[in-house]
Chains A and B, each alone.
Chain A
Amino acid sequence: ETGVTQTPRHLVMGMTNKKSLKCEQHLGHNAMYWYKQSAKKPLELMFVYNFKEQTENNSVPSRFSPECPNSSHLFLHLHTLQPEDSALYLCASSQGQVNSPLHFGNGTRLTVT
């Protein structure tokens, strides 16, 4: 059982849809992250939030819009996605220090049709 919960586990959406991914951590961590995992590619860091403030946007297209209302919740709002955006989207949290390991959720498997 992970301390980081992601919903939904699976999502199929059309290119004109708007959907949101949700992440919640129950570990009391200060930092939250979105990573994208595509087949045969390394994990790509998308966004980093520390104490609800965005500290990293790794050149992510604007069709991905993150939201962090508090230190326990993180959303990724999706609109007008492309088929190449299909991937496993992983949320993680940590204590926000460089030597703090990341705790991952089980991800949302996104398919864009």
Chain B
Amino acid sequence: SQQGEEDPQALSIQEGENATMNCSYKTSINNLQWYRQNSGRGLVHLILIRSNEREKHSGRLRVTLDTSKKSSSLLITASRAADTASYFCATARFLNTGGFKTIFGAGTRLFVKA
């Protein structure tokens, strides 16, 4: 079953506004990551938050993690047209086999209007 599920599926905002995307997951995790994907390109890693962290910042990005609710949010402040892309959350967890898996959600499509 899908591990990370983003909400909303699509978001349209004006340049300068803040964009908030949410992610929920089902099992225990070691970390949660956010990635960005421009159309037809590969994913680019944005930020990683470990399971023992509650909030993390990187430039205009702010990520929160609530392990009790199994949810995370990504906030992009002062959005720009160039932020238009799809955003994915991904969770990493150890497996019984000793390895680990990084599983992605279906993503939120963000459109920032100039």
In the complex, chain A residues 1-43 whose Cβ is within 8 Å of any chain B Cβ: 2, 4, 6, 33, 35, 40-43
* Chain A interface, DSSP helix/strand/loop, else mixed: strand
Residues of B within 8 A of A81 (CB): none
Cα of A4 to Cα of B44 in the assembled complex, Å: 11
Residue A59, interface by CB 8 Å: no
Say whether B99 contacts A50, CB under 8 Å. yes
Which of A40, A42, A99 lies in contact with B2, CB distance below 8 A? A42
Residue A66, interface by CB 8 Å: no
Q: Find the B residue at minimum CB distance from A56.
A: B99
Say whether B102 contacts A109, CB under 8 Å. no
**Interface footprint category on A:** 20 to 34
In the complex, chain B residues 42-67 whose Cβ is within 8 Å of any chain A Cβ: 42-45, 48, 50
Say whether A104 contacts B44, CB under 8 Å. yes
Having A45-B102, A56-B101, one finds 18 other A-B pairs with CB under 8 Å, namely A6-B42, A35-B104, A42-B104, A42-B105, A42-B107, A48-B99, A48-B101, A55-B99, A56-B99, A98-B30, A98-B31, A98-B93, A102-B102, A104-B35, A104-B42, A104-B43, A106-B40, A107-B42
Point out residues on B near A: beta carbons under 8 Å. 2, 4, 30-31, 33, 35, 40-45, 48, 50, 88, 90, 92-94, 97, 99-107
Residue pairs across A and B with Cβ atoms less than 8 A apart, 7 shown, are A4-B42, A45-B103, A92-B42, A98-B93, A102-B43, A102-B102, A104-B43
